[in-house]
Structure 1
Amino acid sequence: MTSRAGTPAQSSDLIDVEQLVHLYWTGHPDVADPEQKVVFGTSGHRGSSLNTAFNDDHIAAITQAIVEYRAEQGTTGPLFIGADTHALSAPAQTTALEVLVANGVRVLVDEFDGYTPTPAVSHAIIRYNRTAAEDDQADGIVVTPSHNPPSDGGFKYNPPHGGPADSDATNRIADRANEIIAGGLKDVRRAEPSAVETYDFRTHYVDDLASIIDMQAIKDSGIRIGADPLGGASVSYWQAIADAYGLDLTVVNPEVDPAWGFMTLDWDEKIRMDPSSPSAMASVVARAGDYDLLTGNDADADRHGIVTPDAGLMNPNHYLAVAIQYLFTHRPQWSESAKVGKTLVSSSMIDRVAESIGRELVEVPVGFKWFVRGLIDGSVAFGGEESAGASFLRFDGTAWTTDKDGILLALLASEIRAVTGKSPSELYRELTERFGDPAYARVDAPASKAQKAALGRLDGDAVSATELAGEAITAKLSKAPGNGAAIGGVKVVSESAWFAARPSGTEDVYKIYAESFKGADHLAEVQAEAKRIVDTALGS
């Protein structure tokens, strides 16, 4: 059967938005069912009202738990809240506002009653707290499931540092929320949010871009830029950026449709707004020749996709390596001791680039929360994930956002093109000429819930293998080298290759990330041996 990946969505692929929203208000979860509990992953609680995993009860309980948590932490300043374009985001924001107002929280919503990208919320928190008193620190909530399918909703908390909450916070919030639901929501306070303060997220964010991106260089170069919001929250931001800085920038698709009927299907034939996916970005890539640079963002604009005329959609790892190389050689005000941050499943090309520019590499587990402290204090100038999420410091070395910023990374690609005269993909080819051309891939392997739990606890010492695809194993890691935190799996390294295995948080599979600087055939050997090594360690 021929895959429909990369082809336009058909009517049979679309959600019934009316039914989805109806079930949000009428469904009631049973928290005795693990599938209906509040569970915070690396980016908050996600689920769908179609399977009673994201409903008014969930959001009311989570918001009440956040109110209690922020009070315990002494957070008494305003709370910034923003929502993306998913169908469940608006009703979830309404629920949250009712609870926040009833609890006396000073809450700020978008001035234009519009959509708010995740990075704009993080930017607002940091901007406020930069001059606020210690007893008046702000925090925030972002209502988004990021790039997840249209049927999903998402809800995440950003404490005063502006980035994703850490596991201690999210575990406490989730546990309390489930307790509240089990208690029949009697601990939830609600009121009509009749008078809520507003905040101009967009203007503050757009006007401040000149402090972190060379907007003048982009304008002076005259490059033709296309920006596709993929129906997400960045839609009005891109036009505002073009207007504010006089750029030759076209919003190639300004349509917002909660069913996302204009999308091409992702690799699994689902609608998913992933700007790093060739299948999801097929319609964008088809227009690569129309612009000097074309970019995409996901629904909450915390991820980026970079499309160039000479290479099409760039692999996220490739672009991160180029961005690091460029930034650390074009930001003279950054501290000479500022480090490069990457997740441990990102390409080793980044390791080679960091070494070549004389910068220390900080390798952390999956999750952007691990970069927050470094971005706040300036000790980490760039933090990036292999899944096309990153942020970096302003020209003066101070924090911009402590959450992923897809708009920022897309604009950086334009700055790179304007300043160097070369596309990011051309610059990546130059890196491969210096350091080699790695082959990188991620595959999934079946695993039971028990096996996934065992993998999450696996110690590197449990791996008995001594070779990986013909090379001696040089490291077996269960903790990240950069901060000693558990990686929730294992990473095995040889001289020219590595693999990492981690359990999926949503499916009965484990993920194998692998890379080889010896080419695609060697990568295939690494992947095959990785599965054997992990299965042996799990006793299967």
Structure 2
Amino acid sequence: MALDKRAGQVAQQKDLTNIPKLMSHYYRLSPDVTQEDQRVSFGTSGHRGCAYNKSFNEKHILAIVQAVVDYRQGAAITGPMIVGLDTHALSQAAYVTALEVLTANGITVLVADNDEFTPTPVVSQAIVRANRPANVSQVSGLTDGLIITPSHNPPQDGGIKYNPPHGGPAEGEITKWIENRANDYLARQLEGVKRLNFGVAQNTSLIVPTDLMSTYIDSLGDVIDMQAISKADIRIGVDPLGGSGIHYWEKIASRYNLNIELVNDRVDPTFSFMTLDKDGKIRMDCSSPYAMAGLLERQDDFDLCVGNDPDYDRHGIVCPGFGLMNPNHYLAVAIEYLLSHRPLWSKDLIIGKTLVSSAMIDRVCQEQGRTMCEVPVGFKWFVDGLADASFAFGGEESAGAAFLQRDGQTWCTDKDGFILALLAAEILAVTGKSPAVLYQEMVERHGESFYRRIDSPVKPKRKAKFNQLVANEINLSQLGLTQLAGDAVDAVLTQAPGNLAAIGGIKVSTANAWFAARPSGTEALFKLYGESFVSEQHLEQVLNDAQTMIENLLA
């Protein structure tokens, strides 16, 4: 994807979403369930779409939430449901729609006090806490949650995801059931969907304002050494990117006596304060140097800077003198630090990584003598391990991760951008070195990683053909590739080695490099990942060989 000439520049009026038009389309346009791109579709992070395109409209939310209600009834989930939302314009509308359906079905809904936004990790941590054995009875029942967010997607997009009682993203069989049920409701013109007018719903006892923020913040000391950060007086610059955690930082600073400054305190559904991403679009991607350009300009004013996406399940770490860390680099540093600074953690704990994350993590785990589990893309693959505290850490190359409490118990089972940001401050406070400096030391021991991801638009027919091919387990003869960038191919994977689950693509590896190719589960994109421990030129050859192979497959 070519770099847009305005990438990294502040958005202009012409870049902004027409919010009144967007909201009108949410309520007035109706999806055609016979059109694939207008149906409910759950990828790795729930259903996402845009009201303009009839892929995220009121009828979608009515159908999805009723389907979730039906699922939880069948699964005997009888406790309250926590509903969170981020700062996207469509999130507020979908939030109201969701409450209308939930209350009509007699479900008690826990929402944040004072109409506060609620980050994904706050919902996850609240679900985990509510469902601990000491807190559950036959009367109270199990708690689950809905989070209304399209994550880092552009301002015109909307999204909704379901977290069952384990607190993390729902498993594939659950999301598929909900997807099918919701599309059935759409096909039947919402027959069977219950709905209570929001004004009436507000006057019932079913919507319960709850102080989710204070409970989460008060527990942060269980997972992060907040005293060390305070004692070292680390100067932390925070850019919330207009996201749902924006009002948390002041209270975190006050509660733990931290030196935190918000460099941007604006909440605006057009996200007009953003700098444009690499493709010239507004996208609140805290792993992109173009989207984080505003914070990068201030990096020398602080000891450390951090940013997060709108629902706070991702993190961006900026170290003065080094800029924005590659997410893979930070994950490797975070894992190494945690394994050597959590004395109460068992040596038997497993480190989870997705198969498109850097092999530097493999080398760190080998050096530390720890077991690593490589799984397909999607945080849902880490949920069980984090829930039963057999996984110390689960992380994705897309800057999302979570880990256990300092005592080895479960913290949350979804990605938590807060704790990854605060961990960077703990690392600096305890070691006296920034995560970027520690990564340079890691390179000296393990070699330098050259890593890149390429996103390309993909048409539905080519995506379907690729999916059919990988479902039948591609082999070397089909690839027409016995060497990759001059090295012998060691393995061709269509299943993840850690759990033998289908990866929804392929991964080809050699002794010095690898590439992986897969269609996105949430966008009309084909994603190609590559890594070399030889050179940038070698990586270029790896990616070129990969692209040739894919074109031959799909010819």
Alignment correspondent of 1:58: 60
1:357, distance to aligned residue in structure 2 (A): 0.5
Q: Is residue 2:195 matched to residue 1:190?
A: yes
Alignment correspondent of 1:214: 225
Which residue identity lines up with residue 226 of structure 1 in the other structure?
G
Q: Is residue 2:289 matched to residue 1:278?
A: yes
Alignment correspondent of 1:418: 429
Q: Is residue 2:195 matched to residue 1:152?
A: no
Cα distance in 2, alignment partners of residues 258 and 490 from structure 1: 38
1:534, distance to aligned residue in structure 2 (A): 2.3
Alignment correspondent of 1:9: 11
Deviations 1:221-263 (A, max 9, x none): 0110011110000101111100100101111111100000000
Which residue identity lines up with residue 527 of structure 2 in the other structure?
K
Q: Is residue 2:23 matched to residue 1:21?
A: yes
Which residue identity lines up with residue 124 of structure 1 in the other structure?
A
Identity %: 55
Alignment correspondent of 1:30: 32
Alignment correspondent of 2:360: 349
Alignment correspondent of 1:126: 128
After the TM superposition, which parts of structure 1 deviate over 4 Å for at least 4 consecutive aligned residues?
A: 506-509
Deviations 1:87-126 (A, max 9, x none): 0111111111011011011111111211000000001100
Distance 1:259-1:139 versus aligned 2 partners, 3 A rule? same
Contact preservation (8 Å) 1:453, 1:503: no
Alignment correspondent of 2:527: 511
Alignment correspondent of 2:44: 42
Which residue identity lines up with residue 50 of structure 2 in the other structure?
S
- Paired residues for 1:99-498 under 5 Å: 99-130=101-132, 131-133=134-136, 135=138, 136-191=141-196, 192-194=200-202, 195=204, 196-445=207-456, 447-457=458-468, 458=470, 459-461=473-475, 462-498=478-514
Contact preservation (8 Å) 1:48, 1:151: yes
1:448, distance to aligned residue in structure 2 (A): 3.8
Which residue identity lines up with residue 511 of structure 1 in the other structure?
K
Q: Which moved more, 1:452-461 or 1:194-203?
A: 452-461
Contact preservation (8 Å) 1:463, 1:476: no
Q: Give the 3-state SS of the residue equivalent to 2:169 in structure 1.
A: coil
Deviations 1:53-111 (A, max 9, x none): 11111111111000000010110011000110000111111111011011011111111
Cα distance in 2, alignment partners of residues 487 and 2 from structure 1: 31
Distance 1:505-1:42 versus aligned 2 partners, 3 A rule? closer
Deviations 1:5-45 (A, max 9, x none): 00000000001111111221222111111121111111111
1:504, distance to aligned residue in structure 2 (A): 2.9
Cα distance in 1, alignment partners of residues 80 and 102 from structure 2: 11
1:451, distance to aligned residue in structure 2 (A): 2.6
Which residue identity lines up with residue 267 of structure 1 in the other structure?
K
Cα distance in 1, alignment partners of residues 85 and 459 from structure 2: 35
Q: Which moved more, 1:102-111 or 1:506-515?
A: 506-515
Contact preservation (8 Å) 2:81, 2:110: yes
Cα distance in 2, alignment partners of residues 451 and 18 from structure 1: 36
Q: Which moved more, 1:437-446 or 1:511-520?
A: 437-446
Cα distance in 1, alignment partners of residues 61 and 48 from structure 2: 11
Alignment correspondent of 2:518: 502
Cα distance in 2, alignment partners of residues 198 and 401 from structure 1: 21
Contact preservation (8 Å) 1:65, 1:176: yes
Contact preservation (8 Å) 1:460, 1:491: no
Q: Give the 3-state SS of the residue equivalent to 1:329 in structure 2.
A: helix
Alignment correspondent of 1:530: 546
Distance 1:134-1:171 versus aligned 2 partners, 3 A rule? farther
Cα distance in 2, alignment partners of residues 418 and 475 from structure 1: 41
Contact preservation (8 Å) 2:4, 2:280: no
Q: Which moved more, 1:128-137 or 1:52-61?
A: 128-137
Cα distance in 2, alignment partners of residues 251 and 237 from structure 1: 11
Deviations 1:372-405 (A, max 9, x none): 0000111110000000000000011111111100
Cα distance in 2, alignment partners of residues 134 and 484 from structure 1: 36
Distance 1:259-1:390 versus aligned 2 partners, 3 A rule? same
Cα distance in 2, alignment partners of residues 288 and 377 from structure 1: 38
1:535, distance to aligned residue in structure 2 (A): 2.4
Cα distance in 1, alignment partners of residues 37 and 4 from structure 2: 32
Q: Give the 3-state SS of the residue equivalent to 1:54 in structure 2.
A: coil
TM-score of the superposed pair, with normalisation by structure 1: 0.98
Distance 1:446-1:141 versus aligned 2 partners, 3 A rule? closer
Q: Give the 3-state SS of the residue equivalent to 1:456 in structure 2.
A: helix
Distance 1:506-1:161 versus aligned 2 partners, 3 A rule? closer
Which residue identity lines up with residue 123 of structure 1 in the other structure?
Q
Q: Which moved more, 1:331-340 or 1:500-509?
A: 500-509
Which residue identity lines up with residue 470 of structure 1 in the other structure?
G
Cα distance in 1, alignment partners of residues 486 and 191 from structure 2: 61
1:509, distance to aligned residue in structure 2 (A): 4.4
Cα distance in 2, alignment partners of residues 530 and 171 from structure 1: 31
Deviations 1:259-304 (A, max 9, x none): 0000000011000000000110011111110000000000000000
Distance 1:390-1:90 versus aligned 2 partners, 3 A rule? same
Contact preservation (8 Å) 1:497, 1:526: yes
Which residue identity lines up with residue 421 of structure 2 in the other structure?
A
Tell me the C-alpha RMSD between the 2 structures: 1.3
Contact preservation (8 Å) 2:313, 2:415: yes
Cα distance in 1, alignment partners of residues 137 and 72 from structure 2: 14
Cα distance in 1, alignment partners of residues 524 and 168 from structure 2: 29
1:335, distance to aligned residue in structure 2 (A): 1.4
Contact preservation (8 Å) 1:306, 1:413: yes
Which residue identity lines up with residue 402 of structure 2 in the other structure?
S
Q: Give the 3-state SS of the residue equivalent to 2:185 in structure 1.
A: helix
Contact preservation (8 Å) 2:45, 2:522: no
Which residue identity lines up with residue 155 of structure 2 in the other structure?
P
TM-score of the superposed pair, with normalisation by structure 2: 0.95
1:447, distance to aligned residue in structure 2 (A): 4.4
